[in-house]
Amino acid sequence: MTADGIVPDMPPIRAPWIIDTLMDIGASEAGAMGPVPLSWTTIAHWQSCMGVDLAPWLCRLLRRLSVEFVSESQNARELDCPAPWTDITDGTNRPTVSRKVSQAFRALINSKE
């Protein structure tokens, strides 16, 4: 997208250290049919290797973020997939929806050339 000069609207990150921890562990791991969410074993092994003892709520959050990451990664393969933070059901976000539709059509046209 940045090659086209399009800068996506991104939500604010209120706790960047949580995202940093997830990226340090890895947002997903390899499965037989593609990426899968982090296993509890992987999270525990990372803690052991790093000498860190994460709080239980943080372990659950990291696992949940990994599940959401893998899910959205699969959904994002569709050209018309809206950003996960975009609420298109209420109709108040029309400019964002319009821009995303235009981007999807542009990507479709460019892929056929």
CA gap 7, 110 in Å, rounded = 18
Count how many residues are written for the chain.
Answer: 113
Domain extents for the chain? Answer: 12-77, 81-113
Q: Report pTM.
A: 0.65
Q: Check residue 41 and give its pLDDT.
A: 97
Q: Check residue 92 and give its pLDDT.
A: 56
What does each of the 113 residues of the chain score in pLDDT, given as a tens digit? 566 777 777 778 889 999 999 999 999 999 999 999 999 999 999 999 999 999 999 999 999 999 999 998 888 888 777 777 666 555 556 677 777 778 887 887 787 66
Helix (H) or strand (E) segment spanning residue 90: none
